[in-house]
Amino acid sequence: MNETLFIGTSALEQVARIAHQPAVSSIIVLVDTHTARLCLPLLEYHLPAGYTLIEIPAGEEFKTLATCENVWQTLTGIQADRHALVINLGGGVVTDLGGFAAAIYKRGIRFVQVPTTLLAQVDASVGGKTAVDFIGFKNQLGVFQEPAAVCIDPRFLQTLDPRQLKSGYAEVVKHWLIADAEAFNRNRLIGVLGISDWASIIEESVALKQRIVAQDPLENGLRKLLNFGHTVGHALESYLLQQPGREILHGEAVAAGMMCEAWLSHEEGLLTQAELEQIETFLFSVFEKVQFISLETEAIAEYARQDKKNSGGVINCTLLQGIGNGVYDQPVTLPEIAASLQHYHRL
């Protein structure tokens, strides 16, 4: 396991170790309205007195440059220098945005990720990606910047409602589908409600992601495997984010995206009908169907034009060549994406 990654009930002690280093000139804790109430009390015990608290609104719709500007204004107002430390306490929005804000401020200050949702613990906070959404497109602006540490305490999962827990579980399933067929076959018989040992699930999932990231930190090749479910998923999430009252969680979009991209894999002759049905049956046993009408599929597919894996106008997708074996840089067309959404709509 990476020497800057800590998992377990003693993980917050590592936050304290970093925060108390003499070189740290000031400490800023970034939270959202949920983690300020539910999670900060657990972290606060480990922090020195005199830190600055920045609270942002909760929700993907606030993962924007405007929110970053508020963070930067506060940092500037307290005269935070390049030796300041930002501690991001929250889910994927907080860790993504907080990491991005820290990486940009004064050309980069150190930050620690303390993820509080399952999605952030197994995916968003690990791997050095930071980003914000821009003009309706997911993670359109961002940089690669490794945090000083990622400190994962499974106790934070007790603050989540079932919907948030399931959302994070989608990223766990993604890891199984691209690289661990045995884990998928074992866990699809259990389901999310049958899991009691989340620490082990987190450790296994993070270890799998880290093995991939270590070989391709800047996503030039192998790391693209981690985008399975995200080409269609991000398009669906971005489209619905522009429809007030229809917003969905990231993991819900990824679950739908995985079903669409599994169908595309089957259409390309990479996945058998039996494997496709196993994936669809399992994901539908955990996730409710995302609602849209068939007439919207082309408009949703259009959002894939902005996918970060695209090259030379070609939409590149990660597909499955059998369960547990992802393959990246697979070209797909907008009509094929729309057809996959039509298939999902009919299920």
Catalytic, 219? Answer: yes
Percent of the chain with pLDDT over 90: 88
Q: From the candidates 63, 175, 188, 223, give the one annotated as an active-site residue.
A: 223
182 is catalytic: no
Active site residue 211: no
Q: Residue type for 66, please?
A: A
Buried b (16+ CB within 10 A) or exposed e, 109-121: bbbbbbbbbbbbb
Residue-wise pLDDT tens digits, 199-222: 899 999 999 999 999 999 999 999
Query: Do 247 and 60 meet the contact criterion of CB atoms below 8 Å apart?
Result: yes
Is the per-residue pLDDT at 3 higher than 90?
no
Average pLDDT in the 309-317 region? Answer: 88
Classify strands 315-320 and 326-332 as parallel, antiparallel or unpaired: antiparallel
- pLDDT surpasses 80 at 154: yes
Is it the case that residue 151 has pLDDT exceeding 60?
yes
Instruction: State yes or no: is 275 an active-site residue.
Output: no
Going from the N-terminus, what domains does the chain have, and what CATH number goes with each? 5-159 (3.40.50.1970), 178-346 (1.20.1090.10)
> Could you tell me the pLDDT band of residue 124, with boundaries at 50, 70 and 90?
confident
Predicted local distance difference test score (pLDDT) of residue 194: 67
Share of the chain above pLDDT 70, in %: 98
Is a pLDDT exceeding 90 seen at residue 313?
no
pLDDT at 193: 65
Is residue 336 pLDDT above 80, yes or no? yes
Q: What is the pLDDT of residue 1?
A: 46
For the question of residue 298 being annotated catalytic, the response is no
Residue among 34, 234, 308, 343 flagged as catalytic: 234
227 part of the active site: yes
Neighbours of 125 (CB within 10 A): 32
Instruction: Flag whether pLDDT at 280 surpasses 60.
Output: yes
Q: At what angle do helices 198-215 and 162-179 cross, to 10 degrees?
A: 50
Residues in the chain: 347
Q: What is the mean pLDDT of residues 121-148?
A: 93
Q: What is the mean pLDDT of residues 240-247?
A: 93
Radius of gyration of the chain (CA): 20
pLDDT band at 190 (very low <50, low <70, confident <90, very high): confident
- Mean pLDDT (whole number) for 93-108: 97
pTM for the complete prediction?
Answer: 0.91
- Is residue 20 annotated as part of the catalytic site, yes or no? no
Cα–Cα distances (Å) from 21 to 31, 80, 304, in that order, read: 22, 16, 44
Active site residue 155: no
Write down the catalytic residue from 129, 138, 309, 343. 129
Q: Catalytic one among 60, 203, 219, 261?
A: 219
Average pLDDT over residues 117-144: 93
- Band of residue 92 on the pLDDT scale cut at 50, 70, 90: very high
Report pLDDT digits (tens) over 80-90: 999 999 999 99
Amino acid at 249: L
Of the residues 230, 308, 309, 343, which is catalytic?
A: 230
What backbone phi and psi angles, to 5 degrees, belong to 10?
-100, 5
Q: Does 250 qualify as catalytic in the annotation?
A: yes
Q: Give the chain's mean pLDDT.
A: 94
| pLDDT surpassing 80 at residue 72 | yes
Select which of 110, 227, 266, 309 is catalytic: 227
The residues, ordered by sequence, that sit 6+ positions from 256 with a Cβ below 8 Å of its Cβ are: 232, 233, 236, 287, 289, 290, 344
Does residue 223 contact residue 212 with C-beta atoms inside 8 Å?
Answer: yes
- 17-59: per-residue pLDDT in tens? 999 999 999 999 999 999 999 999 999 999 999 999 999 999 9
Catalytic residue among 110, 138, 224, 250: 250
Concerning whether 343 is annotated as a catalytic residue, the answer is no
Task: Please tell me which residue in 63, 110, 188, 209 is annotated as part of the active site.
Answer: 209
